[in-house]
Amino acid sequence: MPIIDSQVHAYEANTPQRPWASVPNWPPHVTGDEMVAAMDKVGVDGAIFVSPFAMYRYDASYAVEVQCKHPGRFALVKPVDPDDPAVADVIAEWKKTPGTVGIRIMLVKEPGRDRDPNHPGFERILRAAARHDFPVNLLCWGNLEAGTTLIDRHPDVRFVLDHLGILQPRTPEARSPEPWAELPKVLDLARRPNLVIKVSGACTLSQKPYPYPDIWDPLARVFDAWGFERCLWGTDWTRAYAVVNYEQAVKPFLETDRLSESERAMLMGGACAKVYRWSPTKR
Protein backbone atom coordinates (compact mmCIF):
# COMPACT_ATOMS: atom_id res chain seq x y z
CA MET A 1 0.00 0.00 0.00
CA PRO A 2 1.16 3.58 -0.57
CA ILE A 3 2.25 5.74 2.34
CA ILE A 4 -0.25 8.57 2.81
CA ASP A 5 0.17 11.37 5.32
CA SER A 6 -3.33 12.17 6.61
CA GLN A 7 -2.58 15.84 7.33
CA VAL A 8 -0.09 18.33 5.97
CA HIS A 9 -0.23 22.11 5.56
CA ALA A 10 1.59 23.96 2.80
CA TYR A 11 1.60 27.69 2.15
CA GLU A 12 3.39 30.51 0.40
CA ALA A 13 5.40 33.24 2.08
CA ASN A 14 3.42 36.06 3.66
CA THR A 15 3.04 38.66 0.89
CA PRO A 16 0.56 41.43 0.05
CA GLN A 17 -0.61 39.29 -2.88
CA ARG A 18 -1.63 36.45 -0.52
CA PRO A 19 -1.39 37.80 3.04
CA TRP A 20 -1.60 35.58 6.09
CA ALA A 21 -4.42 36.06 8.57
CA SER A 22 -1.97 35.34 11.40
CA VAL A 23 1.73 34.55 11.75
CA PRO A 24 2.23 31.26 13.61
CA ASN A 25 5.58 29.84 14.68
CA TRP A 26 5.96 27.97 11.41
CA PRO A 27 8.65 28.26 8.73
CA PRO A 28 8.42 31.41 6.56
CA HIS A 29 7.15 29.22 3.72
CA VAL A 30 6.55 25.58 2.93
CA THR A 31 5.29 25.66 -0.64
CA GLY A 32 3.67 22.76 -2.40
CA ASP A 33 6.95 22.04 -4.19
CA GLU A 34 8.82 22.08 -0.87
CA MET A 35 6.24 19.76 0.69
CA VAL A 36 6.64 17.30 -2.18
CA ALA A 37 10.42 17.41 -1.76
CA ALA A 38 10.10 16.67 1.97
CA MET A 39 7.75 13.77 1.24
CA ASP A 40 10.05 12.36 -1.44
CA LYS A 41 13.03 12.46 0.93
CA VAL A 42 11.35 10.04 3.35
CA GLY A 43 9.25 7.98 0.96
CA VAL A 44 5.77 9.43 1.55
CA ASP A 45 3.73 8.86 -1.60
CA GLY A 46 0.89 11.31 -1.03
CA ALA A 47 -0.87 13.46 1.53
CA ILE A 48 -4.17 14.96 2.52
CA PHE A 49 -3.48 18.68 2.15
CA VAL A 50 -5.55 20.52 4.74
CA SER A 51 -5.68 24.19 3.81
CA PRO A 52 -4.09 26.00 6.78
CA PHE A 53 -6.63 27.99 8.77
CA ALA A 54 -3.84 29.87 10.57
CA MET A 55 -2.79 31.59 7.36
CA TYR A 56 -5.71 31.46 4.95
CA ARG A 57 -8.81 31.00 7.12
CA TYR A 58 -11.54 29.62 4.84
CA ASP A 59 -9.77 30.43 1.55
CA ALA A 60 -8.40 27.22 0.02
CA SER A 61 -7.23 28.77 -3.25
CA TYR A 62 -3.56 28.05 -2.59
CA ALA A 63 -4.31 24.40 -1.85
CA VAL A 64 -6.21 24.17 -5.14
CA GLU A 65 -3.23 25.65 -7.00
CA VAL A 66 -0.87 23.13 -5.45
CA GLN A 67 -3.14 20.19 -6.22
CA CYS A 68 -3.41 21.31 -9.85
CA LYS A 69 0.39 21.25 -10.06
CA HIS A 70 0.77 17.95 -8.17
CA PRO A 71 -2.54 16.14 -8.79
CA GLY A 72 -1.19 12.71 -7.97
CA ARG A 73 0.34 13.73 -4.66
CA PHE A 74 -2.33 15.70 -2.82
CA ALA A 75 -6.01 15.43 -2.03
CA LEU A 76 -7.70 18.46 -0.51
CA VAL A 77 -9.61 19.33 2.64
CA LYS A 78 -10.73 22.86 3.46
CA PRO A 79 -12.09 24.47 6.62
CA VAL A 80 -15.66 25.69 6.24
CA ASP A 81 -17.25 28.56 8.11
CA PRO A 82 -20.24 27.87 10.39
CA ASP A 83 -20.97 31.61 10.45
CA ASP A 84 -21.53 31.68 6.68
CA PRO A 85 -25.27 31.32 5.94
CA ALA A 86 -24.35 30.07 2.46
CA VAL A 87 -21.94 27.40 3.72
CA ALA A 88 -23.99 24.58 2.15
CA ASP A 89 -23.42 26.17 -1.27
CA VAL A 90 -19.71 26.50 -0.48
CA ILE A 91 -19.55 22.78 0.25
CA ALA A 92 -21.45 21.94 -2.94
CA GLU A 93 -18.93 23.94 -4.99
CA TRP A 94 -16.02 22.37 -3.13
CA LYS A 95 -17.34 18.94 -4.04
CA LYS A 96 -17.05 19.90 -7.73
CA THR A 97 -13.42 21.01 -7.35
CA PRO A 98 -10.87 18.47 -8.65
CA GLY A 99 -8.98 16.64 -5.93
CA THR A 100 -11.27 17.46 -3.02
CA VAL A 101 -11.96 14.70 -0.48
CA GLY A 102 -13.44 16.40 2.58
CA ILE A 103 -14.12 19.44 4.73
CA ARG A 104 -13.01 20.54 8.18
CA ILE A 105 -14.71 22.10 11.17
CA MET A 106 -13.08 23.38 14.34
CA LEU A 107 -14.64 23.25 17.78
CA VAL A 108 -11.83 24.31 20.08
CA LYS A 109 -11.46 26.69 22.99
CA GLU A 110 -9.44 29.26 21.07
CA PRO A 111 -10.28 32.82 19.96
CA GLY A 112 -12.21 32.80 16.70
CA ARG A 113 -12.98 29.09 16.91
CA ASP A 114 -14.74 28.74 20.26
CA ARG A 115 -18.31 27.92 19.25
CA ASP A 116 -21.11 26.05 20.91
CA PRO A 117 -21.91 22.67 19.29
CA ASN A 118 -25.52 23.93 19.03
CA HIS A 119 -24.44 26.71 16.65
CA PRO A 120 -26.86 26.46 13.69
CA GLY A 121 -23.99 26.64 11.22
CA PHE A 122 -22.81 23.19 12.21
CA GLU A 123 -26.22 21.77 11.36
CA ARG A 124 -26.00 23.31 7.88
CA ILE A 125 -22.47 22.01 7.39
CA LEU A 126 -23.18 18.47 8.53
CA ARG A 127 -26.37 18.13 6.49
CA ALA A 128 -24.41 19.24 3.42
CA ALA A 129 -21.54 16.87 4.24
CA ALA A 130 -23.95 13.93 4.41
CA ARG A 131 -25.62 15.01 1.16
CA HIS A 132 -22.30 15.15 -0.69
CA ASP A 133 -20.76 12.15 1.13
CA PHE A 134 -17.85 14.24 2.39
CA PRO A 135 -15.97 13.08 5.49
CA VAL A 136 -15.80 15.85 8.08
CA ASN A 137 -12.45 16.42 9.74
CA LEU A 138 -13.18 17.52 13.29
CA LEU A 139 -10.67 19.43 15.40
CA CYS A 140 -11.96 19.39 18.98
CA TRP A 141 -8.84 18.82 21.07
CA GLY A 142 -9.34 20.20 24.55
CA ASN A 143 -13.09 20.14 23.89
CA LEU A 144 -13.93 16.48 23.29
CA GLU A 145 -17.33 16.67 24.94
CA ALA A 146 -18.51 19.30 22.45
CA GLY A 147 -17.16 17.26 19.54
CA THR A 148 -18.88 14.14 20.84
CA THR A 149 -22.18 16.02 20.85
CA LEU A 150 -21.90 16.65 17.10
CA ILE A 151 -20.74 13.11 16.36
CA ASP A 152 -23.64 11.55 18.23
CA ARG A 153 -26.17 13.99 16.80
CA HIS A 154 -25.24 13.13 13.21
CA PRO A 155 -24.82 9.34 12.86
CA ASP A 156 -25.13 9.63 9.08
CA VAL A 157 -22.00 11.81 8.82
CA ARG A 158 -18.52 10.29 8.45
CA PHE A 159 -16.26 12.06 10.96
CA VAL A 160 -12.46 12.05 11.15
CA LEU A 161 -11.14 13.03 14.60
CA ASP A 162 -8.08 15.21 14.15
CA HIS A 163 -4.82 14.69 16.05
CA LEU A 164 -5.91 11.84 18.34
CA GLY A 165 -8.40 14.24 19.91
CA ILE A 166 -5.57 15.30 22.27
CA LEU A 167 -4.28 18.83 22.66
CA GLN A 168 -0.75 18.94 21.26
CA PRO A 169 2.02 21.46 21.99
CA ARG A 170 3.09 24.06 19.46
CA THR A 171 6.49 24.51 21.14
CA PRO A 172 8.72 22.18 23.18
CA GLU A 173 8.20 24.41 26.22
CA ALA A 174 4.42 23.93 25.99
CA ARG A 175 4.57 20.17 26.47
CA SER A 176 2.17 18.96 29.14
CA PRO A 177 3.51 16.91 32.06
CA GLU A 178 0.61 14.53 31.37
CA PRO A 179 0.18 14.64 27.59
CA TRP A 180 -2.06 11.56 27.46
CA ALA A 181 -4.44 12.58 30.24
CA GLU A 182 -7.41 12.65 27.83
CA LEU A 183 -6.66 9.19 26.45
CA PRO A 184 -9.53 7.42 28.29
CA LYS A 185 -12.01 9.77 26.60
CA VAL A 186 -10.41 9.07 23.23
CA LEU A 187 -10.67 5.33 23.78
CA ASP A 188 -14.35 5.68 24.70
CA LEU A 189 -15.00 7.51 21.42
CA ALA A 190 -13.98 4.39 19.50
CA ARG A 191 -17.48 3.03 20.11
CA ARG A 192 -18.88 5.51 17.58
CA PRO A 193 -19.21 3.68 14.25
CA ASN A 194 -19.30 6.92 12.22
CA LEU A 195 -15.89 8.04 13.49
CA VAL A 196 -12.28 7.29 12.59
CA ILE A 197 -9.20 8.81 14.18
CA LYS A 198 -6.10 10.55 12.87
CA VAL A 199 -2.96 9.35 14.59
CA SER A 200 -1.42 12.65 13.58
CA GLY A 201 1.08 14.75 15.47
CA ALA A 202 1.71 11.87 17.88
CA CYS A 203 5.44 12.54 18.12
CA THR A 204 4.77 15.97 19.60
CA LEU A 205 3.29 14.23 22.67
CA SER A 206 6.57 12.52 23.49
CA GLN A 207 8.55 13.56 26.54
CA LYS A 208 11.68 11.82 25.33
CA PRO A 209 14.07 12.63 22.46
CA TYR A 210 13.79 11.23 18.94
CA PRO A 211 12.75 8.52 18.08
CA TYR A 212 10.16 9.16 20.83
CA PRO A 213 9.94 5.67 22.37
CA ASP A 214 7.33 6.67 24.96
CA ILE A 215 4.54 7.17 22.40
CA TRP A 216 4.09 3.47 21.70
CA ASP A 217 2.38 2.25 24.87
CA PRO A 218 -0.43 4.83 24.68
CA LEU A 219 -0.70 4.38 20.92
CA ALA A 220 -1.06 0.62 21.42
CA ARG A 221 -4.19 1.36 23.47
CA VAL A 222 -5.52 3.52 20.63
CA PHE A 223 -4.86 0.76 18.09
CA ASP A 224 -6.52 -1.84 20.29
CA ALA A 225 -9.63 0.29 20.82
CA TRP A 226 -10.05 1.62 17.30
CA GLY A 227 -8.51 -1.07 15.10
CA PHE A 228 -5.89 -0.23 12.49
CA GLU A 229 -8.51 0.07 9.75
CA ARG A 230 -9.86 3.15 11.59
CA CYS A 231 -6.49 4.79 12.42
CA LEU A 232 -4.94 7.25 9.96
CA TRP A 233 -1.27 8.09 10.51
CA GLY A 234 -0.18 11.65 9.82
CA THR A 235 2.39 14.26 10.75
CA ASP A 236 0.40 17.51 11.00
CA TRP A 237 3.41 19.19 9.51
CA THR A 238 4.00 22.13 9.40
CA ARG A 239 1.98 22.87 12.55
CA ALA A 240 4.32 20.51 14.39
CA TYR A 241 7.43 22.21 12.96
CA ALA A 242 8.68 23.77 16.21
CA VAL A 243 8.54 20.42 18.01
CA VAL A 244 9.52 17.83 15.37
CA ASN A 245 10.71 18.11 11.79
CA TYR A 246 9.10 16.17 8.95
CA GLU A 247 11.62 13.35 8.88
CA GLN A 248 11.34 12.90 12.65
CA ALA A 249 7.56 12.64 12.36
CA VAL A 250 7.75 9.93 9.68
CA LYS A 251 10.67 7.65 10.50
CA PRO A 252 9.56 6.43 13.96
CA PHE A 253 6.50 4.85 12.31
CA LEU A 254 8.52 3.37 9.45
CA GLU A 255 11.19 1.92 11.69
CA THR A 256 9.44 0.80 14.89
CA ASP A 257 9.24 -2.89 15.72
CA ARG A 258 5.93 -2.28 17.52
CA LEU A 259 4.04 -2.61 14.22
CA SER A 260 3.80 -5.62 11.94
CA GLU A 261 4.16 -4.97 8.23
CA SER A 262 0.41 -5.38 7.68
CA GLU A 263 -0.37 -3.04 10.58
CA ARG A 264 2.09 -0.47 9.26
CA ALA A 265 0.59 -0.65 5.78
CA MET A 266 -2.93 -0.08 7.09
CA LEU A 267 -1.93 2.67 9.54
CA MET A 268 0.32 4.58 7.12
CA GLY A 269 -1.87 4.45 4.05
CA GLY A 270 -4.54 1.80 3.79
CA ALA A 271 -6.99 3.31 6.25
CA CYS A 272 -6.51 6.81 4.84
CA ALA A 273 -7.14 5.63 1.28
CA LYS A 274 -10.33 3.92 2.42
CA VAL A 275 -11.70 6.87 4.39
CA TYR A 276 -11.00 9.50 1.73
CA ARG A 277 -11.46 7.16 -1.25
CA TRP A 278 -8.23 8.45 -2.72
CA SER A 279 -4.78 7.06 -3.42
CA PRO A 280 -1.73 8.92 -4.71
CA THR A 281 -0.15 8.39 -8.09
CA LYS A 282 3.42 9.51 -8.68
CA ARG A 283 4.25 10.96 -12.10
Sequence ranges of the domains in the chain: 4-276
pLDDT of residue 84: 97
Supply the pLDDT for residue 132. 97
pLDDT at 245: 95
User: Computed from CA positions of residues 263, 194, 185, 208, in that sequence, does the dihedral angle turn out positive or negative?
Assistant: positive
The confidence score (pLDDT) of residue 158 equals 98
CA distances from 74 to 101, 105, 107, 164 (A): 10, 20, 25, 22
Instruction: Identify whether the C-beta of residue 104 lies closer than 8 Å to the C-beta of residue 79.
Output: yes
What is the reported pTM? 0.97
Tens-digit pLDDT string for the chain (283 aa): 899 999 999 999 999 999 999 999 999 999 999 999 999 999 999 999 999 999 999 999 999 999 999 999 999 999 999 999 999 999 999 999 999 999 999 999 887 777 899 999 999 999 999 999 999 999 999 999 999 999 999 999 999 999 999 999 999 999 999 999 999 999 999 999 999 999 999 999 999 999 999 999 999 999 999 999 999 999 999 999 999 999 999 999 999 999 999 999 999 999 999 999 999 997 5
CATH-assigned architecture of domain 4-276? Alpha-Beta Barrel (3.20)
**Does the CA dihedral 87-91-93-94 come out positive or negative?**
positive
- C-alpha 47/C-alpha 4 separation (Å) is 5
Q: How much is the pLDDT for 283?
A: 57
Number of alpha helices (DSSP H) and beta strands (DSSP E) in the chain: 11, 8
